[in-house]
Amino acid sequence: MSSFLLCVECDSLWWLEDTVDIDRAKSLNDVVAAHLGVGGNPWSGRVWADVIEPSPDVER
């Protein structure tokens, strides 16, 4: 399991050790596709709960 910060407005993702900065943001779709080993849209036939488990708030 990996923890990360997610902007739910634009689906930008930062690993906890990253500086939260727009220039360092990763695309949630790209990260999920790589994790699942699929190309293109990783959400085809999936929902958030299939690949992302919410965790308690992490204070930064």
C-alpha distances (whole Å) from 30 to each of 25, 38, 42, 57, 60 are 11, 10, 8, 23, 24
Four-residue CA torsion sign, 54, 41, 31, 24 = negative
Given this model, what pLDDT does residue 12 score?
A: 93
Given this model, what pLDDT does residue 22 score?
A: 87
For residues 25 and 19, what is the distance between their CA atoms, to the nearest angstrom?
Answer: 9
Given this model, what pLDDT does residue 30 score?
A: 93
For residues 28 and 12, what is the distance between their CA atoms, to the nearest angstrom?
Answer: 6
- 10-residue block means of pLDDT along the chain (60 residues)? 85 91 90 90 88 68
- Beta-carbon count within 10 A of 23 CB: 5
pTM beyond 0.75, yes or no: no
Given this model, what pLDDT does residue 59 score?
A: 57
